[in-house]
């Protein structure tokens, strides 16, 4: 069952999106759509969807050469109780 | 669906029943993810197996570190759902297109001013300068 959550897009996500858009050139619209498709899937499936990248970090392939990376982080107080979850989105070059 | 009762020990430790571990395909050293969901009926916990893959390039790792720092220091925008993000992306694209159109118009004006000055200089020097005709190739 999907868990409702807010999408927290970091400044780095915004910068990377702009940068990679220029690289995508005339395919920029396709690039945007592939990001949104990945985000929609993530939102429908909930946290934990995608390829795991270590401790609660995931990636979803978008347009060829890029992937959407998100981090599901649970901030905890001094007693180990969860305070809030947050998420960031980041397209990076695929290895 | 099956249910298992486990008792929490000191420091919140518990033992995963063998049947559950087998079904998840996990053993000592495996990484698991606990997902909490709270609704009117209380809090439910979902347990998932997590797989570890290698991190990306050095540049990608740096980029991820910067993103993490942004989140930590409050440099992020919150979208309630994917459609809000879609609206933001479209608005950004529209603004970018508007800015580029304005830049092109400004460059056209600069070009016209340059051509005007060249004609003036040409007139002063006794040289007739004409703008390159649109159908230049056809006139040749």
Q: Rounded to two decimals, what is the model's pTM?
A: 0.59
Per residue in B36-54, pLDDT (tens digit) is 777 888 888 878 776 544 4
Say how far apart CA B117 and CA B133 lie, in whole Å. 18
- Window 30-69 of A: residues touching B by CB (8 A cutoff) are 32, 35-36, 39-40, 42-43, 46-48, 51-57, 59, 69
pLDDT digits (tens, 9 = 90+) for B72-82: 788 888 888 88
Tens digit of each residue's pLDDT (9 = 90 or more) over A55-91: 677 788 787 667 788 777 655 545 554 344 556 666 5
Domain ranges in chain B are 10-72
For residue A9, what are the β-bridge partners?
B77
- Can you tell me the distance from the alpha carbon of B106 to that of A60, in angstroms, rounded to the nearest whole number? 41
Between A92 and A27, residue with greater pLDDT:
A27
The complex scores an ipTM of 0.76
Question: How does DSSP assign A21-84, residue by residue?
Answer: HHHHGGGHHHHHHHHHHHHHHHHHH-TT-SEE-STTEEEEE-STTEEEEEE-EEEE-TTS-EEE
Instruction: State the virtual CA torsion across A20, A23, A26, A31 in degrees, nearest 10.
Output: -30
- Å between A95 CA and nearest CA of chain B: 5
CA distance A12 to A67: 14
Any residues with CB less than 8 A from the CB of A72 and at least 6 apart, and which?
A47, A48, A56, A57, A58, A85, A87
Please tell me whether residue B9 adopts helix, strand or coil conformation: coil
Contact residues of B toward A, CB < 8 A: 12, 31, 33, 35-37, 46, 48, 50-57, 59-60, 63-64, 66-68, 70-71, 75-82, 84-86, 89, 93
């Amino acid at each position: 069952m999907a868990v409702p959550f807010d999408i927290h897009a970091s400044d780095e996500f915004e910068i990377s999106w702009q940068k990679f858009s220029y690289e995508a050139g005339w395919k920029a619209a396709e690039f945007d759509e592939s990001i949104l498709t990945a985000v929609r899937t993530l939102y429908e499936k909930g946290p934990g969807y995608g390829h795991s990248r270590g401790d609660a970090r995931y990636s979803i392939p978008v347009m060829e050469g890029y992937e959407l990376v998100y981090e599901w982080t649970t901030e905890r107080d001094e007693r180990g109780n969860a305070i809030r979850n947050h998420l960031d989105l980041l397209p990076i070059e695929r290895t | 669906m099956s249910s298992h009762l486990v008792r929490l020990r000191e420091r919140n430790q518990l033992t995963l029943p063998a049947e559950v571990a087998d079904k998840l395909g996990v053993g000592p050293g495996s990484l698991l993810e606990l997902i909490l969901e709270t609704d009117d009926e209380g809090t439910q916990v979902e347990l998932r197996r997590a797989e570890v893959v290698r991190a990306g390039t050095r540049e990608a790792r740096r980029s991820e570190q910067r993103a993490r720092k942004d989140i930590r220091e409050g440099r992020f925008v919150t979208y309630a759902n994917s459609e809000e993000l879609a609206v933001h992306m479209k608005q950004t694209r529209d603004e970018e297109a508007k800015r580029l159109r304005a830049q092109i118009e400004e460059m056209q004006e600069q070009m016209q001013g340059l051509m005007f000055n060249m004609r003036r200089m040409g007139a002063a020097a006794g040289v007739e300068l004409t703008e390159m005709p649109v159908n230049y190739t056809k006139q040749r």
